[in-house]
Amino acid sequence: MNVVKKLSRSISTVGKDAAEVRGALEDTQRVVQSQGQAMQALALQLDQISQAQAAIATATAQSSAAVQRARGALGVVGGEVVGMASTLAQVSDAAAEITKISLQTRLVAFNAAVEAKHAGDAGRGFAVVAEAVKALAGQVEASSKAIVSAIATLQTRIDRFSAELTENPAKPSQIHAAFHEVEQDVQRISVSAADSGQQMQLLNQQANELGREVSEASHSLKVAFDGSDRFLRMSEVLVEQIAESGVEVDDMPFIRAAQSAAAEISELLEAALRDGQISESDLFDENYRAIEGTNPQQSTTRFCQLTDRLFPTVQEKTLGFSDKIVFCISADRNGYIATHNRKYCQPQRPGDTVWNTANSRYRRIFNDRTGLASARNTRPFLLQTYRRDMGGGRFVLLKEAAAPIVVKGRHWGGLRLAFNF
């Protein structure tokens, strides 16, 4: 018998170690999952950057083509300007020729007027015509000179404009200098975009490699986690089997205390049904209504007021059974704790999640491995070892004895009695 007790203690110690390993694996798994999420976010950002760089490259190519088209159009305009200058030169030559003709006309008209005077009365009419021709020739001369002057001014301006439009590498104009600067800027952008694209390609390759390594690590951790879980459960089952054999193992007093408290809770709930304090549908209500603004999330059900009245008498009394007991609570079959021990039923502090996690543990659903196993257990008792999250990265290693709560033959949930080693 002593050998069996020693074996039970050894198995319990192994279970404690297994729970610590499982907890460490949980922590590592959370870190790896966080890294995996970060890698996914990074891959998405890198993809967006790559798309932006591709758009820059496309826009740069389009800009370069537009500059070339503009330069081609500028050459066409330059050719047109040269043709215009040639046409104006022809117009100027024609105006100069008109000036010569008008001078000759004036000279002829002058000679005609002299001859008319010599002819006396017979030449008066001819003299009038000669004077009119002379005056008209003067007007023509003045107009042609004005045309020549205007064309000369316009020609000067056109020559300057033509010089601006004509490309001369030895002496570039302002327009061509500006085009050259734009081309250089576009080229620099293109080179930078190409270099950046190569860097992004390398980053993408490295990110994919890191993502693959994180995925492999996550898979390996899952294998280790599942193995530790099986090992932990095996140690728990061995202790349970030793206890069921009738050997008084160290955990047996806590198992009996949990069974006794579960029986009392069952009796209280059955009495509430008989007395009409609550209906069966309300007692087994699974419509958990979230309490707005709570973090961690709290919820209510239709049986909360009843459990607040009935459960503390049993749960608080059981806490006094041993100074090793950490909590004694009743969970419905989904792990919902309507009424916790009084010291853990503190109102939440807005914005203080760490404090709330440790001190506001009522009206919450604990559907983790341990919580659900205890809540849904229908065997005489269940013994588990686990780490309890106290918030802020703090954990406490506990053992837990659970016993089913049955109301009128229907499984309502389980009583959870947690205690220190």
Cis peptide before 296 (omega within 30 of 0): yes
Q: Is the pLDDT of residue 367 over 60?
A: yes
Does 190 share its domain with 286? Answer: no
Separation of alpha carbons 342 and 146, rounded Å = 112
> Domain range holding 156?
1-230
Mean pLDDT to the nearest integer, 284-305: 97
Considering 198, 230, 262, which residue would you say is the last residue of a domain? 230
What per-residue confidence (pLDDT) applies to 200?
65
Least confident of 84-88, 189-193, 203-207, 415-419: 84-88
Q: Backbone dihedral region of 202: left (phi > 0), alpha (psi from -120 to 50 degrees) or beta?
A: alpha
**Cα(first)–Cα(last) distance of the chain, in Å?**
22
What per-residue confidence (pLDDT) applies to 137?
60
Judge whether 224 lies within some domain: yes
Does 383 share its domain with 288? Answer: yes
Query: Using CB atoms within 10 A of its CB, is residue 57 exposed (0-12), middle (13-18) or buried (19+)?
Result: middle
Considering 230, 263, 287, which residue would you say is the last residue of a domain? 230
Q: Is the pLDDT of residue 93 over 90?
A: no
Does 223 share its domain with 192? Answer: yes
Write the CATH number for 39.
Answer: 1.10.287.950
Does 314 share its domain with 407? Answer: yes
Does 225 share its domain with 260? Answer: no
HEC string for 215-228? HHHHHHHHHHHHHH
Separation of alpha carbons 413 and 270, rounded Å = 14
Does 255 share its domain with 224? Answer: no
Q: What single-letter DSSP state applies at residue 186?
A: H
Q: Is the pLDDT of residue 178 over 80?
A: no
Q: Which residue has the higher pLDDT, 59 or 416?
A: 416
Judge whether 244 lies within some domain: no
Judge whether 239 lies within some domain: no
Does 218 share its domain with 338? Answer: no
Mark out the alpha helices in 289-343 (DSSP H runs). Answer: 304-319
Structure tokens at 159: 């020559």
Q: Are strands 394-407 and 299-300 parallel, antiparallel or unpaired?
A: unpaired
Does 209 share its domain with 282? Answer: no
Judge whether 393 lies within some domain: yes
Write the CATH number for 368.
Answer: 3.30.450.20
Q: Is the pLDDT of residue 149 over 80?
A: no
CA angle 352, 27, 376 (to 5 degrees): 80
Q: What average pLDDT is seen over the chain?
A: 77
Judge whether 308 lies within some domain: yes
Give the percent of the chain with pLDDT over 90. 34
What per-residue confidence (pLDDT) applies to 362?
97
Separation of alpha carbons 330 and 265, rounded Å = 8
Question: How does residue 313 score in pLDDT terms, banded at 50, 70 and 90?
Answer: very high
Does 202 share its domain with 286? Answer: no
CA angle 357, 362, 366 (to 5 degrees): 70
Could you tell me which of 239, 257, 240 has the C-alpha nearest to residue 328?
A: 257
Judge whether 241 lies within some domain: no
Residue 287 corresponds to which amino acid? N
pLDDT tens digit sequence for 247-293: 667 788 999 999 999 999 999 999 999 999 999 999 999 999 999 99
Query: Using CB atoms within 10 A of its CB, is residue 265 exposed (0-12), middle (13-18) or buried (19+)?
Result: buried
Considering 195, 230, 265, which residue would you say is the last residue of a domain? 230
Judge whether 237 lies within some domain: no
Q: Is the pLDDT of residue 239 over 60?
A: no
Could you give the number of structural domains in the chain? 2
Does 169 share its domain with 307? Answer: no
Does 73 share its domain with 20? Answer: yes
Separation of alpha carbons 71 and 167, rounded Å = 10
Q: At what angle do helices 124-165 and 174-244 cross, to 10 degrees?
A: 30
Q: How far is CA 41 from CA 38, 48, 206, 214, 230, in A?
A: 5, 11, 14, 14, 34
Query: Using CB atoms within 10 A of its CB, is residue 15 exposed (0-12), middle (13-18) or buried (19+)?
Result: buried
Give this prediction's pTM.
0.55
Does 206 share its domain with 301? Answer: no
Judge whether 367 lies within some domain: yes
